[in-house]
Amino acid sequence: MADALPDNFAGRLAVVFCGINPGMTAAAVGHHFAGRGNRFWRVIHLAGFTPEEILPENDRTILRHRCGLTATWLLMLLI
């Protein structure tokens, strides 16, 4: 299922959340952490990574906050 989601990755990121395991809903809709009960977006907002809670359909906007997402474990080896 990791292939079902595109990486949200760019240069000069402060943090990259690597090796995430996408759920069925996320894979089906093509957006990271899209499951109804998934708390990822709320947690990273409350932790101070983003100034507001991002909606799953706006997952690419995480790049504005110098954060990236990848479901690829291999990328973790390259960093």
The one-character DSSP state at 18 is -
Catalytic annotation present for 21: yes
The Cα–Cα gap between 50 and 28 comes to 25
**Look-up of token digits 């960093």:** 79
Catalytic residue among 21, 38, 58, 65: 21
Catalytic residue among 32, 38, 58, 65: 32
Catalytic annotation present for 38: no
The Cα–Cα gap between 30 and 45 comes to 21
The residues carrying an active-site annotation are 21, 32
